[in-house]
Amino acid sequence: MAAQLIDGKATALEIRAEIAQRVEELRGRGIVPGLAVILVGEDPASQIYVRNKGIACEKAGMRSLTLRLPAETTQAELEDRIRELNADSGIHGILVQLPLPGHLDERRALGVIDPKKDVDGFHPINAGRLLAGEKCAVPCTPRGVMELLRRTGLELQGKEAVVIGRSNIVGKPMALLLLQAGCTVTVCHSKTRDLAAHTRRADILVAAVGRAGFVTADMVKEGAAVIDVGINRVDGKVVGDVAFDEVWEKAGFITPVPGGVGPMTIAMLLKNTLEAAGE
């Protein structure tokens, strides 16, 4: 039997409508949640992401500010701009669009953001709080994945979860959130031996690799929930890390690309901004 499709696009729209309603209530109390996005340089994919974030913000009734800095911006200039936003009471969330040009130190820049305004959840304080299971800004993509999993109605406790990818922005926080939800978690990565032996045990399989069609049907357990975080461009088309056409026949649940995790990332960014504004 074919898998049930997890419709991230529809879920994200629902969440964005809920957020818009809460923003309206906040505005009634004189608070307009504000998100500032800093874009350094002219990376075409980043420009599209930043534009979409701004549009989503405005649609939700939030204030959106985009700082476009030239590619030759120095580390000191970037950090000064972040500090100005830290001090701006009309800005509740600050996001530095990654990747930064090669001469800039990402970790140092992210560390300058006020942790209370760190809506991406990449500041070491928020990363530490997530590890300790404390309240914090949770990175948007893994938070979106958890929201999708919860809405399937699947019991997560006691399940085998396998995450492929160990990046700071997806793989590691994803593994921590699944652990918090009571899953038994395995994190696989580029040095993992016999990857398929791990993935075949997974009741929940999250792919965050960045390689088109990487997860094939023989790597998937019958009935598993397969979450595809990957965004890859092949012949002008956006595809995920999962070979959808074959895995769809075997999985219990599956997210499409596009229309799966991607829209949830933006919805969770709005949610983090709303929460930073005092919700």
Applying CB under 6 A, does 171 fall inside the site for ligand NAD? yes
Q: Of 28 and 236, which CB lies nearer to ligand NAD in the complex structure? A: 236
Distance, in Å, from the CA atom of 66 to the CA atom of 86, rounded to the nearest integer, reads: 15
Applying CB under 6 A, does 188 fall inside the site for ligand NAD? yes
Catalytic pick among 7, 9, 47, 53: 53
SS (H, E, C) the chain: CCCEECCHHHHHHHHHHHHHHHHHHHHHCCCCCEEEEEEECCCHHHHHHHHHHHHHHHHCCCEEEEEEECCCCCHHHHHHHHHHHHHCCCCCEEEECCCCCCCCCHHHHHHHCCHHHECCCCCHHHHHHHHHCCCCCCCHHHHHHHHHHHHCCCCCCCCEEEEECCCCCCHHHHHHHHHHCCCEEEEECCCCCCHHHHHCCCCEEEECCCCCCCECHHHCCCCCEEEECCCEEECCEEECCECHHHHCCCCCEECCCCCCHHHHHHHHHHHHHHHHCCC
Chain-centroid distance of CA 8 in Å reads: 12
Applying CB under 6 A, does 265 fall inside the site for ligand NAD? yes
Catalytic pick among 9, 59, 75, 97: 97
Applying CB under 6 A, does 47 fall inside the site for ligand NAD? no
Question: In the window 108-147, what residues touch ligand NAD (CB under 6 A)?
Answer: 141
Applying CB under 6 A, does 270 fall inside the site for ligand NAD? no
- For the CB of residue 209, give the shortest distance to ligand NAD in the complex, in Å: 4
Catalytic residue check, 241: no
Cα angle for residues 171, 173, 179 (degrees, 5° grid): 100
- For the CB of residue 173, give the shortest distance to ligand NAD in the complex, in Å: 10
Number of shown-chain residues binding ligand NAD (CB under 6 A): 23
Applying CB under 6 A, does 20 fall inside the site for ligand NAD? no
Applying CB under 6 A, does 195 fall inside the site for ligand NAD? yes
Distance, in Å, from the CA atom of 243 to the CA atom of 149, rounded to the nearest integer, reads: 20
- For the CB of residue 84, give the shortest distance to ligand NAD in the complex, in Å: 27
Question: In the window 219-238, what residues touch ligand NAD (CB under 6 A)?
Answer: 229-232
Catalytic residue check, 43: no
Catalytic residue check, 21: no
Q: Of 29 and 193, which CB lies nearer to ligand NAD in the complex structure? A: 193
Interacting span for ligand NAD (CB under 6 A) from 24-32, 83-91, 119-127, 163-171: 163-171
Q: Of 81 and 264, which CB lies nearer to ligand NAD in the complex structure? A: 264
Catalytic pick among 117, 118, 120, 159: 120
- For the CB of residue 30, give the shortest distance to ligand NAD in the complex, in Å: 33
Query: Two tokens at 149?
Result: 């999993």
Question: Catalytic amino acids?
Answer: 53, 97, 120
Under the rule (CB under 6 A), what is the footprint of ligand NAD? 141, 164-167, 169-171, 188-190, 192, 195, 208-210, 229-232, 261-262, 265
